[in-house]
Structure 1
Amino acid sequence: MLKWVVRQKVYSRILWVSSINYESDSSSTGFSRSVVHLTAGKYSSVLGQEFDCVIFDMFSGLHPDAFTALSGTLTAGGAFILVGPRLKDWPTFADPEYHRLLAYPQSQQDIKGHFLHYLSRHISQSKSWAVFNLSLLQDNSRLEIRRSIQVSGNHPVKVSIQANLPERSTLPSSNAPPRFTATGDQQKLIQWVLKMSPGRRNALVVTAGRGRGKSSGLGLAVNQWLEKFAGQIWVTAPSKATLHSFYRFLADNSAESSDPRVHFYAPDDLLQKGQLLSPKELPTLVIVDEAAAISTSLLKAMANTFPRLIFATTTHGYEGTGQGFALKFFPVLSSLFPRWKTITLKHPVRWQPKDPLENFIEKSFILDNQPVYQKSFDEAALNAFSLRRLKMSLHPAETLCGDQHLLGKLMRLLTIAHYRTTPDDLRTILDAPGVRTFSVTLREGKGEGEREEVVAAALISMESPFTDPTMIDAIWQGERRPRGHLLQQSLAQQLCIREGLGTPVARVIRIAVHPLLQHKGIGSWLLGKLKQHLKPQVSLIGASFAGEPDVVRFWLKNGYHLVRMGSKRDHVSGTYAAMVLCPMSPEGKHILRTANIRFQRRSHYDLHFQKYPRQTSEILEQALLSSRSKLPSRSKLPSRSKRNSQWSPRQRLYDGEKALLALFAEGARPFENIEDLLTRLPGVSDYPALKYLRDKALKQESVELQALASWFSLTGRKQAVQLLRKELKEWLIASDKPS
């Protein structure tokens, strides 16, 4: 297919999405100038670039996030070509992408093909797709264009769609210099940015659908700002890669910034750096791109720190959605910047409004901006709300595949409640064998006017117990990490609880309540119903998430126990990873008790725990007090606020902790999982690296591997860990010898 398209010499820049690299084909000489190749999993590397033809090889796997994202790289008048099996064969097609949905020991036979059936149905019903019967086996292949979707023969099928050509193209080609006429929306954006002159506190929110020129418009605005005002501009985003278009239109070349006054920082680094500066030293402008992907607490802290900010976000699209952003953050912004403004970019810059490709992508993958409800709840309805009118339902994948209305409501609810909801989640709901989808509906009205509205949803992953002793040993030794089973493997790897691998567990992947109905007990009601439903099937229910204090409090309030808090802060959310468990059986209670003991001791001795922000420390102390009250007296430790300033030289290591140390020495556990144990080892005077850790602990100083490497003139973290493992092996041998 690729050879045929190139030979037509119609397209100047072609994107070939496939696991097959054309460069390995000797007959493909001369392709390199016109063809860019990438595998679907690396789709983000070309976002912001432009192509006039995209060829997506479905035989290499249909990756939903890549499929939707790469459609946005197609310029006006270009063609999107999908090469795959006959449409009627899609439900039974062995998609190579299925491996991402399977948890050990599931196989492709466990996937029923609901997603491909769903997508093929949308293509069949669409009037925009042209379907061709194509033989890839003949060198002189001819394409037969058919208006009917019905295709005969056994040849693969090419499906293509062509974007509408606007009256004039506003964006340059990828090789042209980034000078062009800004769209009307972008000109308004530039005007609003320039009104945010230094000397006044102000905030601007920029929202846009994908492909509306948000990032490029900000680049143009910053260009004019730099010409008009002095001072520095700080820029942040969840990933620097998302700022490709911003930098392209900021500078006269593709360099990340030719102006030394523009600096990029990760979200948490930007905040920490700003909090160390005086008001006069702060940047004159801070730009937060894809702000909806950053936690509200971190955004609020930024708004409290910097005098002028632009918060930009995508309202809907393949990379996630900011639909819930307004409901969550705008009230915060109003309290800090009473005169803040918002601008929405509505018109696409690469294609016309109502473009057939964009319409198909948005409708099929439920990326549109349609409201979750048929009508908004008025004040009277909100005041009359009652939990007695709620009902929880389990929806099998085959039911959702055939019920577009219900599937759309569930996806839109997940979208508005969670920024990171993407097209991959649609496939997970329809195809992942171990995932169950629950909804909560609210009965409204009376009599004939009564109807049910979806107000909450939950996705649950069922983690079946491991039964193969060889696999259990391999996981325990750190030699295998099979797909899925996140909680079970976390219990074994991070908390040193081997029994967790053989325990049936349910993991809450996602729980979402519509923002208009939050804080009314719906989420707690749903968790209670899930416990009742899952109790006969599992020993534990748990979740792993970014540990914002309010979110942790929600889980604690509903009977869950915090058993792990990460020691490294996430650069985007500004939070620490958290893990909670709730026992459903005596076996689950035993595992929870063991996990609580390990968490208590780690939080007591790991000095990273002392560096948490105040709110995180408070919620951690609350969780520790709650779990401490349920532990046997011999396992209890004093509260963190009453801990001694120094360690006793005779601190006792339990057998489980010794086993964890041995696993680290053999390379089966990372340093972060046993850092607190290494600082407690007695008799380390003959082991320089271990003594270094001990001395740091006595001074109440947290340990950084890079600092240890520098102290011992090592090249980096890897050599530092190797040295610690070597010394620990020697210490373990010596400690086992009779004195």
Structure 2
Amino acid sequence: MTVSALAGRLRAEAERANERRLLVLAGDRDAGIDAAYDAVEGAGYPDEGVTVVTATEGFRFERLHPKHADRLLGTTRDCVVLDAHGEFSPNAIGRTVGAVDGGGLLVLLTPPLDEWPTRRGGFDEYLAVPPFTVDDVTGRFRKRLVDTLREHPGVAVVDLVSGAVERDGLTDAPPAGPRRDPPVPADAQFPRRAYESCLTADQARAVRSLELLRESGHAVVVEADRGRGKSSAAGLAAGSLAAEGRDVLVTAPKGRNAAEVFVRARTLLAELGALAGETGDDEGRERHLRTIEGGHVRFADPPTAATLPGDPDVVVVDEAAALPVRLLSQFVAAPSVGFFTTIHGYEGAGRGFSVRFQDRLAESDMVVRDVHLDDPIRYARNDPVETWAFRALLLDARPAVDPLVEAATVDDAEYRVVSADELVADEHLLNEAFGLLVLAHYRTEPTDLARLLDAPNLSLRALLHDGHVVSVALLAREGGLDAETRREMYDGGRVRGNMLPDVLTSQLRDEDAAVPVGYRVMRIATHHAVRSQGLGSRLLTEIREEFGDDVDWLGVGYGATPELLDFWDRNGYRTVHLSTTRNATSGEYSAIMLDPTSDAGREVQRRHTDWFLRRVEGVLADSLDDIEPDVARAAVRAAHGTPPLDLSERDWRVVAGASYGPGLYGTAPRAFRDLAVRHLADPERAELTAREERLLVRKVLQCRPWDAVADELGYHSTGQCMRSLGDAYKPLVDAYGSDVAHAERERYTE
């Protein structure tokens, strides 16, 4: 059977069943490209319905470079040809597979399948982070991928070298049943046209539930796999609300993630004759729809949207699973809010959203409605290509079910070094371990699976209970770089896979920091059924005991929150840096912490902790002038250092006089800053309340206006706030003051 004839049969069956099929063309690239043309022509797809994802130019079809494959997200194509030679990456599969419509074909051009796992390409070079080379990268991910291609229903494989059709991919699927338009509710509060625009009963049910957002105090959570129409439902609801004159604020990890929301909202408003105007750029960052009734549908990035700019009536959060819980929690302050999240997919992990955030949502004052969409919009249920993608990319990876692990304790959990070979050989182990890693981070991509299996700098450690993973840590080896690489890094060159040495070297100007070798804890997660029982700390203790004699430090970098800073502090990690910019998606500043295990590691940690404490007061007054006080407090405390306190006699007289007498804070603010940092680094020496320490941060270190500080911290007046600052410095004068300071104090206390 020729490629052309096979493609024709695949399309015919796919259209009859309203499913998709996958055609693998295995051979050299030129032969694959020729065969792809034959497949498109044999299937009879129009050129305008075909997209080729490749680094090679010269196609008559639409072409996207693999780096730009994310432009296919939210689009629909008859056929997508993905070139897996050279520039291939796992993310490209995750980005392209969802774009193929029912009756469509995903064509994958690969090297000969038996050779593919050992072939080296651009992605292998990407995984070969210094000091490793591409020869150290393995091909486990591709081997596993090849196995799924050879085993899974709906996948056709053609060996272009021999011309043999190894698998025809035909499943003898039954014809798809007729699609029925969902009925319009008799008492619908949204416009009739919104329901007529729904393509499934699931989608109409979601829109019906979203009518609750018309009233304050409601939260609606819509969860679905990709392709179920959740973003369209969000757009129909947003348009309906705006048509009534309501202000709808839309947010998503990136502007393009919310593109479908705005497309559907705009279309609906135009059909209702309610659209008054629109503005926006191609990336969707400034998208804004205005209605005749004075309503709005407008976009803001997540950190901005979390502040509820302009006091919106409703907030719509699309791809909520790709946002951290801390940020999601802030949206509960909106009058009403809709959360829309992908359960299994490239955009994020919905189970992380479910496990980590929905408990907090349930504890809020919101009335919560949960909606789940099951029916695909563009292809039939149980589509074999979707099922294959879930398995190949572990999009549906999840931890062990609760009953299997809920009896686990710190004492009986088994510590395991889990090799990549073990993960590939044991699909259940791989699913449980990767499933926990997905929950540990608000954004996980298919590339992360390939890193886990193939990257030479990564390794996995876990705690198991009766063979099931209860806690897991992904570690990255960093440092140990040669002089030339360190010089390149110091001069601003980007050296991949060495995050902590990179920051210490390029940003903090320490060229020797990349000499010692360490392991960075990239991710750590404990099963939700046994959280807060010390298993994460036990895992870190085991890791330290294992690596203590072989490396110089253990480290971590993460979005800083008071809770996480306290966790890492309790486990022996010390603050050496706070980033000076917020993460664009999470809105958090990053903390970098080290736990030294050798003399060389201790020297790196000592000099960077000392410098952090010397410079932190200047940074808090400048680039970190908006960091949360509790984050600043916890970060300085976790440094466990002794910042210099070199106050002159006159400085001490001013500080003591402002605390106990008529002196003024504003005459020598530097002295107050030095003393504030010393206390925050050593809070045990003098007893201050949490509010008093927040006052030190906001007023003294971040130099906020008195009235703003008084309002934020709940003081009745500016005067009370000023008096409270003097009172807060009294125990500091007592604890740290010189003889001169104490003599000044006695003048006003005797």
**TM-score, normalised via structure 1 length:** 0.75
Structure 2 CA distance, aligned partners of 1:124 and 1:530? 38
Q: Aligned residue for 1:376? A: 403
- Answering whether residue 532 of structure 2 is matched by residue 519 of structure 1, we say yes
AA at the equivalent of 1:291: A
AA at the equivalent of 2:607: T
- Answering whether residue 208 of structure 2 is matched by residue 191 of structure 1, we say yes
Corresponding pairs, count: 597
- Answering whether residue 30 of structure 2 is matched by residue 4 of structure 1, we say no
* Cα distance change, pair 179–567 in 1 and its aligned pair in 2 (3 A): farther
**Which secondary structure state, in structure 2, belongs to the residue aligned with residue 131 of structure 1?**
strand
**Which secondary structure state, in structure 2, belongs to the residue aligned with residue 563 of structure 1?**
strand
Q: Aligned residue for 2:437? A: 414
Report the alpha carbon displacement of residue 571 of structure 1 after superposing the two structures with TM. 3.5
Q: Is the 8 A contact 1:561 1:580 kept in 2?
A: yes
Report the alpha carbon displacement of residue 219 of structure 1 after superposing the two structures with TM. 0.9
Report the alpha carbon displacement of residue 187 of structure 1 after superposing the two structures with TM. 0.5
Return the match for 1:72 from 76, 84, 98: 98
AA at the equivalent of 2:54: S
- Answering whether residue 50 of structure 2 is matched by residue 14 of structure 1, we say yes
Structure 2 CA distance, aligned partners of 1:67 and 1:209? 16
What aligned pairs does 1:547-558 form with structure 2 within 5 A after superposition?
Answer: 547-558=560-571
Q: Aligned residue for 1:204? A: 220
Report the alpha carbon displacement of residue 225 of structure 1 after superposing the two structures with TM. 2.6
Structure 2 CA distance, aligned partners of 1:634 and 1:207? 57
**Which secondary structure state, in structure 2, belongs to the residue aligned with residue 98 of structure 1?**
helix
Structure 1 CA distance, aligned partners of 2:480 and 2:637? 31
Q: Aligned residue for 1:297? A: 326
- Runs of 5+ unmatched residues, structure 1: 23-27, 136-141, 149-158, 172-176, 443-450, 653-696, 702-739
Return the match for 2:446 from 415, 419, 423: 423
Moved more, 400-409 or 608-617: 608-617
What aligned pairs does 1:24-423 form with structure 2 within 5 A after superposition?
Answer: 28=59, 31=60, 35-134=61-160, 144-147=164-167, 166-167=176-177, 180-198=197-215, 200-227=216-243, 229-252=244-267, 256-259=287-290, 261-274=296-309, 282-304=311-333, 306-337=334-365, 339-368=367-396, 371-374=398-401, 376=403, 382=406, 385-423=408-446
Q: 1:480-508 CA distances to partner (integer Å, 9 max, x unpaired)?
A: 32222211121112222222121111111
Q: Is the 8 A contact 1:189 1:221 kept in 2?
A: no
Q: Is the 8 A contact 1:220 1:249 kept in 2?
A: yes
- Runs of 5+ unmatched residues, structure 2: 1-32, 182-193, 271-277, 281-286, 660-664, 675-700, 706-750
Q: 1:212-267 CA distances to partner (integer Å, 9 max, x unpaired)?
A: 1110111122223333x322111111111111221221112897554351111112
Structure 2 CA distance, aligned partners of 1:194 and 1:164? 37
Q: Is the 8 A contact 1:77 1:165 kept in 2?
A: no
Q: Is the 8 A contact 1:76 1:163 kept in 2?
A: no
Q: Is the 8 A contact 1:250 1:257 kept in 2?
A: no
**Which secondary structure state, in structure 2, belongs to the residue aligned with residue 59 of structure 1?**
coil
* Cα distance change, pair 366–647 in 1 and its aligned pair in 2 (3 A): same
**Which secondary structure state, in structure 1, belongs to the residue aligned with residue 585 of structure 2?**
coil
* Cα distance change, pair 555–3 in 1 and its aligned pair in 2 (3 A): same
* Cα distance change, pair 645–41 in 1 and its aligned pair in 2 (3 A): farther
**Which secondary structure state, in structure 1, belongs to the residue aligned with residue 348 of structure 2?**
coil
* Cα distance change, pair 163–349 in 1 and its aligned pair in 2 (3 A): farther
Structure 1 CA distance, aligned partners of 2:302 and 2:106? 36
**Which secondary structure state, in structure 2, belongs to the residue aligned with residue 389 of structure 1?**
coil
Q: Aligned residue for 1:679? A: none
Q: Is the 8 A contact 2:158 2:166 kept in 1?
A: yes
Identity in percent: 26
Report the alpha carbon displacement of residue 549 of structure 1 after superposing the two structures with TM. 2.0
Q: 1:418-461 CA distances to partner (integer Å, 9 max, x unpaired)?
A: 3322221111111001111112102xxxxxxxx32211111111
**TM-score, normalised via structure 2 length:** 0.74
Structure 2 CA distance, aligned partners of 1:594 and 1:431? 35
* Cα distance change, pair 372–474 in 1 and its aligned pair in 2 (3 A): closer
**Which secondary structure state, in structure 1, belongs to the residue aligned with residue 394 of structure 2?**
coil
Q: Aligned residue for 2:488? A: 474
What aligned pairs does 1:391-540 form with structure 2 within 5 A after superposition?
Answer: 391-442=414-465, 451-467=466-482, 469-478=483-492, 480-540=493-553
* Cα distance change, pair 481–167 in 1 and its aligned pair in 2 (3 A): same
Report the alpha carbon displacement of residue 169 of structure 1 after superposing the two structures with TM. 7.2
* Cα distance change, pair 645–125 in 1 and its aligned pair in 2 (3 A): farther
**Which secondary structure state, in structure 2, belongs to the residue aligned with residue 88 of structure 1?**
coil
Report the alpha carbon displacement of residue 130 of structure 1 after superposing the two structures with TM. 1.1
AA at the equivalent of 2:437: L
Structure 1 CA distance, aligned partners of 2:111 and 2:304? 48
What aligned pairs does 1:668-707 form with structure 2 within 5 A after superposition?
Answer: none
Q: Is the 8 A contact 2:78 2:105 kept in 1?
A: yes
* Cα distance change, pair 481–118 in 1 and its aligned pair in 2 (3 A): same
Q: Is the 8 A contact 1:186 1:217 kept in 2?
A: yes
Q: Is the 8 A contact 2:408 2:470 kept in 1?
A: no
